[in-house]
Amino acid sequence: MQLRDRQILQIALPSIVSNITVPLLGLVDVTIVGHLGAASYIGAIAVGGMVFNIIYWLFAFLRMGTGGMTSQAYGRRDLLEVMRLLLRTLTIGIGLGLLFVLLQVPLRELAFLLIAPPTPEVRALTNSYFSICIYGAPAMLGLYGLTGWFLGMQNSRFPMWIALVQNSTNILCSLLLVYVAGMKVEGVALGTLIAQYAGFFTGLWLWMRHYHRLRHYLPRALFSSESLHHLWNRTAMVRFFTVNRDIFLRTLCLVAVTLSFTASGAQQGEVILAVNTLLMQLFTLYSYIMDGFAFAGEALSGRFIGARNADAFHSTVRHLFHWGLLMALLFTLTYALGGEPFLSLLTSEPTVLEQARDYVVWAMLIPVAGVSAFIWDGIYIGATATRGMLLSMATAALTFFLLHSLLHDLWGNHALWLSFLAYLAVRGLVQTLLRKSVYRMIAK
């Protein structure tokens, strides 16, 4: 195996392990409340979980922006800037989290306007869940920045260990609080809160253990007048917020498409909604794998851009696309041969399975349609070429909404899936067309 392939896999594989723990955690939470004797408990976890997923999804720019800028500083061997970036992202992330805690009431009411709980009982339980979990916002947003910093330092093992500690703590605490302490939704929420701080403090402990040599940069970054000037100076802050603003707006477009896809399926009835939900699991599974390679692209491309190593950068891009195309081929074959049997594992409802057969071909096309977008996303983040990411996402979202509005009366749910695949393909196509903006970064 070539050096570049080893570098990619050393980052991609731990990231994939981190990613696949996410659905396991949600499944366990639903399973715990699913045995409490009322459907309202499941509804509260579903609505509350969706609220926090959207909030944290929108602020994922703290991870992505930090990862790209840190990888470039690491490539330049500018260790003082590496420390400044860590301090900057932790301060901003924790500060935003504390602001969410202070503004939790209006934030909760706004969330309930967007995702209305179906019954008063579910609303009351969701309110209890929200009122506990909101105190985890400083830990979660601080952890986003810390995770991005680790990836920028070419280290995806620590985010993997953090995810494993956080998720195992969540499962253990939730089980103890619900089945031993006799709590209900509040027990699951408190288990989540404890796990969030366990993950954050694990990250800080890992940093202290592994990056102790960087600690001598800390006084210079914190206390010298020159370093304080660089830490919060106008140019640095403008770049930080420009990069993260573009990622934030890009995420808004992504959330709009995701919510519209779900809402459009719901409008077609509960069977189609169930079919789309099942088929989207195939997209989610693929995305967990491809995000690992995107993280590798983010870390390595940023590193080589920072080092002004054009040959290594172009080699990394080629090898990332080789891996991406291999994964797309494997997933396409897997879905073609095992897509329907996989769906039958998720549900035994004959009506849903029968309807799903009419649409499973769209799921088979997801890997080919989306491969370029996933790979370019990582490269663009590493290059901090976030304006190109925003333009590609905005163009893709516009394509989705236009196609669906034109075709949904004629083709129904097939139009929805065609629009979604077009959205994935256009993202990758526009990023390919704009790739010169990434290549220019290495010449600066």
List pLDDT tens digits, range 56-108: 888 888 888 899 899 999 999 988 889 889 988 999 999 999 999 999 999 98
pLDDT value for 220: 59
135 assigned to some structural domain = yes
CA-based Rg of the chain, rounded to a whole angstrom?
A: 22
In this structure, are 255 and 293 located in the same domain? yes
List pLDDT tens digits, range 101-146: 999 999 988 888 877 666 788 788 888 989 999 999 999 999 999 9
Tally of structural domains, the chain = 2
In this structure, are 118 and 208 located in the same domain? yes
Given 232, 261, 296, which residue is the final one in a domain? 232
- Residue 331: closest CA among 364, 372, 378, 377: 364
Question: Residues with Cβ < 8 Å from 304, sequence gap 6 or more?
Answer: 75, 310, 312, 313, 316, 442
List helix spans (H) across 156-233.
Answer: 157-175, 185-210, 218-222, 225-232
Q: Is the pLDDT of residue 233 over 70?
A: no
Task: Name the percent of the chain in helix, strand, coil, to the closest 5.
Answer: 90, 0, 10
111 assigned to some structural domain = yes
118 assigned to some structural domain = yes
In this structure, are 283 and 227 located in the same domain? no
Q: Is the pLDDT of residue 274 over 80?
A: no
Six-digit token string for 353: 């399975």
Print the domain residue range for 60. 1-232
pLDDT value for 354: 79
Exposure of 361 in the CB half-sphere (CA atoms within 13 A): 4
Given 209, 232, 255, which residue is the final one in a domain? 232
241 assigned to some structural domain = no
> Do 111 and 259 meet the contact criterion of CB atoms below 8 Å apart?
no
In this structure, are 202 and 287 located in the same domain? no
pLDDT value for 215: 73
Across the range 179-202, mean pLDDT stands at: 91
* Burial annotation 47-85 (CB, 10 A radius, 16+ → b, else e): bbbbbbebbbeebbbbbbbbbbbbbbbbbeeebebbbbb
Given 232, 267, 294, which residue is the final one in a domain? 232
In this structure, are 64 and 153 located in the same domain? yes
- Among the listed ranges 25-29, 158-162, 400-404, which one has the minimum average pLDDT value? 25-29
In this structure, are 59 and 100 located in the same domain? yes
How far is residue 302's CA from residue 154's CA, in Å, rounded to a whole number? 10
pLDDT value for 26: 65
How far is residue 129's CA from residue 117's CA, in Å, rounded to a whole number? 13
List pLDDT tens digits, range 416-444: 999 999 999 999 999 999 998 888 777 66
In this structure, are 123 and 226 located in the same domain? yes
In this structure, are 23 and 70 located in the same domain? yes
238 assigned to some structural domain = no
In this structure, are 145 and 256 located in the same domain? no
240 assigned to some structural domain = no
Confidence class for position 336, pLDDT limits 50, 70, 90: confident
In this structure, are 399 and 259 located in the same domain? yes
Q: Is the pLDDT of residue 206 over 70?
A: yes
pLDDT value for 44: 74
List helix spans (H) across 307-385.
Answer: 310-346, 350-364, 366-382
237 assigned to some structural domain = no
* Burial annotation 430-443 (CB, 10 A radius, 16+ → b, else e): bbeebbeebeebbe
In this structure, are 371 and 399 located in the same domain? yes
123 assigned to some structural domain = yes
